[in-house]
Amino acid sequence: MAIDFGKRMGMGGLRLPVKDPMNPMSIDMEQLKKNVDYFMEHGFNYFDTAYIYHGELSEGAYGEAVVDRYPRDSFLLSTKMPVKQMNSADQMEPIFEEQLRRCHVDYFDFYLVHCVSRDTYERCKKWGVFEFLKKKREEGKFREFGVSLHDSPEFLEEILTEHPEIDFVMEQINYLDWTNPSIRSKEVYEMAMKYNKPVVVMESCKGGTLANLPDEAVKLMKEYNPHASVAFWAYRFVGSLPGVRVCLCGMPTEEFLKDDVATFEDFKPLNDEEYRILEKVVEIVNAKTPIPCTQCRYCEPKCPKKIAIPDYFALYNDLKRLPVDEVMTQAMYYGSLIEQGHGPASACVNCKSCEKQCPQHLEITEYLKWVVKDIEQYDPMAQIEKMKAAAKEG
């Protein structure tokens, strides 16, 4: 039976509403239920999650907010096997069963191997992960089988050639990464098309980066369409691509949710002029975003020094977008993270465990040195003296 994908937008389970923005485990269940209701009322039906999201609480949150409150045939549920985080083949069966229990279902609609990298793929071969999942699909434990990856088109081709049983691919697509030489999302998308695999898109807003653009870029967009939000452009870029089955959107707030729903409810592909505007926006954003971190937080649990890597990078990127004297505010936020028990950027021992986890292949250790130089070593007293001197002159 053909699957009805609703209006081609899915609710992403990596960025659910939280009570404390610094604590991903503080999921705001009441807000999530309201979001789910609004989403369903507007004809959307796709929910994506994974074992590891929100400190392993995301699947259970959907169990409570979606599965317990809606008939099973009224929504589509997708989750992923955390092969990267597993230690042996023995864990496959118990983890799969645990996921069914957490989600309160007896089958998933879609099941993926999460974040397939060279290392993960080797484990999949050694442990027989694909064979295990083929069997689960035959048993009716899920309907379609996919892989999510942040890797090269050549690697995707290798996987699709060796495993034609894969039904679909989940990949990172957004207008900023489309021709980015280290991410190559256009080429990865084209490879999926070559093998006739539908694509589910993640990171279409690049972890919120494309909803929070420099003023110069926002001005360009608003001059063309004063009523559209900046995120609207990001989702329309992805939705305009043929072969994209569903675009996953993080909806941590009601504002995001309503904007996303409005974009996909009455979807219009981008026109030539809009594509040209986006090209200019990419130039502006690239010039102003020094660390292309998507805030996925995969690196953080691996750090023996508890360094709040994504938070420090977000502070750094904001610092470069804000006026120079805002460094004091950034330094205060930085200080409060250290007070909460995180290691400072300078505590990095260069073990590179974090870099092995990073789907964006960032040189985290190098970027941490920038954080040390521009935020950690910032001296508030010197800044105050500078401000006093400027006031006197004024």
Q: Which DSSP category does 344 fall into?
A: P
Interacting positions 214-253 with ligand SF4 (CB under 6 A): none
Which of these ranges, 30-38, 170-178, 260-268, 355-363, lies near ligand SF4 under the rule CB under 6 A?
Answer: 355-363
What are phi and psi for residue 391, nearest 5 degrees? -65, -40
Choice between 221 and 345, CB closer to ligand SF4: 345
First CA to last CA distance, the chain: 74
Report the distance separating Cα 212 and Cα 225, nearest Å: 17
DSSP code for 14: T
* Options 46-54, 128-136, 163-171, 349-357: segment touching ligand SF4 (CB under 6 A): 349-357
CA atoms of 371 and 308, how far apart (whole Å):
11
| Binding residue (CB under 6 A) for ligand SF4 from 357, 375, 376, 378 | 357
| Smallest separation, CB 40 to ligand SF4 (Å) | 30
Question: Which position among 42, 222, 352, 369 is part of the footprint of ligand SF4 (CB under 6 A)?
Answer: 352
Neighbours of 179 (CB within 10 A): 13
Q: Least distance to ligand SF4 from the beta carbon of 287, Å?
A: 20
**Cβ proximity to ligand SF4, 147 vs 364, nearer residue:** 364
Specify whether the CB–CB gap between 285 and 217 falls below 8 A: yes
Name the nearest CA neighbour of 147 among 73, 238, 50, 55: 50
With CB under 6 A as the rule, give the number of residues binding ligand SF4.
29
SS3 324: helix
Cβ proximity of 111 and 136 under 8 Å: yes
The span of 140-148, 151-159, 270-278, 344-352 binding ligand SF4 (CB under 6 A) equals 344-352
Q: Does 360 bind ligand SF4 (CB under 6 A)?
A: yes
Of 109 and 177, which has the nearer Cβ to ligand SF4? 177
Which of 88, 161, 196, 350 forms a contact with ligand SF4 (CB under 6 A)?
350
CB closer to ligand SF4 out of 269 and 304: 304
The reply to whether 166 sits near ligand SF4 by the rule CB under 6 A is: no
The nearest distance, CB 298 to ligand SF4, in angstroms, is: 4
Interstrand relation of 76-81 and 168-172 (parallel, antiparallel or unpaired): unpaired
Scan residues 250-309 and list those touching ligand SF4 (CB under 6 A). 293-299, 302-305, 307, 309
Q: Is 65 in the site for ligand SF4 (CB under 6 A)?
A: no
* 349 in contact with ligand SF4 (CB under 6 A): yes
- Single-letter amino acid, residue 86: M
| Per-residue contact flags (x/-) with ligand SF4 for residues 306 to 325, judged by CB under 6 A | -x-xx--x------------
Is the distance from CB of 191 to CB of 161 less than 8 angstroms? Answer: no
CA dist 274 → 134, 173, 185, 280, 282 (Å): 42, 17, 20, 10, 12
Is 364 a binder of ligand SF4 (CB under 6 A)?
yes
Q: For helices 153-162 and 185-194, what crossing angle results, to 10°?
A: 20
Using CB under 6 A, list all residues that contact ligand SF4.
Answer: 293-299, 302-305, 307, 309-310, 313, 348-354, 357-358, 360, 362, 364-365, 368
